[in-house]
Structure 1
Amino acid sequence: MASSRILPTLLGWALGVTVTAAIVGTPYLLFAYHSPDLHLVLDSLDTGVALLVAYLLFGRYSRTGRLQDLLLAAGLLLLGLAGIGLTLVLRLIGPDDDRGGVWVPVAVRVVGAVLVLAASMTSARRPAGRWSRPLKLLPWVTVAVGVAVTWALGDSLPRALAQTPPASAQRPVIAGHAGLLAAHAVTALCFAVASVAFAVTSRPRAEGRDELIRWLGPAFALAAFARLNYLLFPSLYSDWLYTGDLLRTASYAVLLVGAAREIRRYWSMQAQDAVLEDRRRLARELHDGVVQELGYIRSEAQTLSGDPNSRQRIVAACDRALDEARAAVDALGRSSDEPLGFVLHRAARQVADRYNASLEVEVDDSVHADADQRHALIRITREAVSNAIRHGRADRVRVRLDRHGPRRRLLVQDEGEGFDPTVVRRHADGYGLTSMKERASSVRGTFSIDSAPGRGTTVAVTW
């Protein structure tokens, strides 16, 4: 389970290492190509993806109120603003391309990377609380301060790059300012640590996997290697396409995949919520209609005069119908997020209370089952408890849910009259046993029953 969780991140790291090692270690490979059009296309694409995912995360935050979503949204918004949009704005207000027009995006990008790192270190369930308003304003304040400082300092800012673009792209010849190189190093480190943190903390499928968080690991791994390539081969020239540009676009492409899966998951959850609400409505109708009427028929049947056997058969039929109706109400009206042990406890308690029997329940909360298995196990539990009380004359029933080696097990035990299973299966009364066995088979499990006259009964389902 853990390996499948971190596999995408490992692939992202492997791709980043391979590309960087090939460029650094092979003198015949070019680290830059002169392609103004493609450079503009990739810059625009990266900015668009960053802003899209930031918007998606702000939407998530509005629903969840979690600090991690807000930090990620603010960080990605800054990374998007640091792209082509901010560069164009700065050119319009006048700073030279290799002074203010460079330092502001670099500073904004560092702040965005720090916010991403902070998000990776924050619990996925922690509410934003008092940090909500400052973090919402932080991206805009950062950009405003950067633009204001650039306007005030103007030509007094140092040049980010001291040389012109390379005449040959087979070996690095550009020497950047120490501040620029430090910014690339800090950003790369933030992205690298965030990549590992997101991979480690992403939840497995059984716990409700967060698709977007799962893809942040490989995305920021590639982003870290993009910044490392910018550190090794500093690039601020729009006419040249560097390996760092390609790795950066790859990171945003992975981020776009995560966003697409998150959107699909959102609409799937919306559809599930609509179905669940309709099921709850049907459950209310059953409870207020069929169950109430069956209860009335049962109470009236007990007052009938005449053949006692006939009266008892009517009451027994009403009991079975009530069990079926209540099982349908539970199946329709309950959420699949409830722990399995709690669901089985409730089902057994409903049957035991109807016949005034005692119930002992012992459950292991780590045992889980999918929706189809849960339904089958609930029906088996209700049938086994009902049989123990009605046919076995047991006044106490024990229900146990635990692990039996590598498998999971449900036990329903009583100390009632017991019976001979081989005899019961030959008669119509054995339909309940057949039904339980078939339900156990439907969950790819095994069904067994241990009983004999005078020594009680144990029903076991292992899956």
Structure 2
Amino acid sequence: MQTQNQNLFLLILLGTSIIVVLVLFILVFVTFYQQRMIQHQQQLRLMEQEKQQAVLQALFETQESERQRIARELHDGIGQVLHRIKFNLAEIQHIGNGKIQQATGMKEVIEDTKMLADDTIVEIRHIINNLLPPTLETFGLAEAFKWLSKKVQQTHNITVTYTAPPHVELKKEFALSLFRIVQELFSNAIRHSQAQHIQLTITQSETYLELLFTDDGVGFDKNNLEKHNASHGLTNIESRTSIMAADFHLVSSPHEGTSVKITLAQ
């Protein structure tokens, strides 16, 4: 009996160790990816100064390809491994249920490990959705903005008001760029603005599309933009709007919130 309990404990310990290693691997993986994105943004700043729009477009396409590749690897690789580990833990719990009940703390260890696997799977799903927005390709830009607004409101306790026509018609490459711009705007607002309310409004006619993004956060001094933490993200946004030949207008001042308007001729 003691040998069986020891073997069972070793199995649980092995499963837990694998989960911990995978979680650490994911953290390192995401950190490395973020560093790569920062390097890309720094390259974008230099390229924008030299007005190399063709090179900028190629770099954005490279970023999108990298996002798609990473999303696929997370889904097909690590995600499947975690599901398998969770299944194996459930099997261990089922096979050795009586012995586990008698072994002090073993049942709790298995349950905690399964919960850790569940949390990691959810986190991977969030990362994949950020890298490769599921609604954009399937349902279009209007629904993708709606999904993103709802996600921000649910996960960051910020009230998001989203207004748009039922369908937003835009070329595929422009739609993806505009979605990435709004992602960056939300990210900046979440990390830096301390906003309680964000409003995203899309207006479209036969001749133009206008995007208005406002928040009631702390704002910043545009004259000292280089010192602001969000400056790299704003440079990225300006680069994307430049490629689309869109007008980019930013209004912000300390304690007065921030407003961004992007107008794209059609």
| TM-score normalised by the chain length of structure 1 | 0.30
Larger Rg: 1
**Higher RCO, 1 or 2 (CA under 8 Å, sep at least 6)?**
2
Bigger fraction of residues in strand: 2
| TM-score normalised by the chain length of structure 2 | 0.50
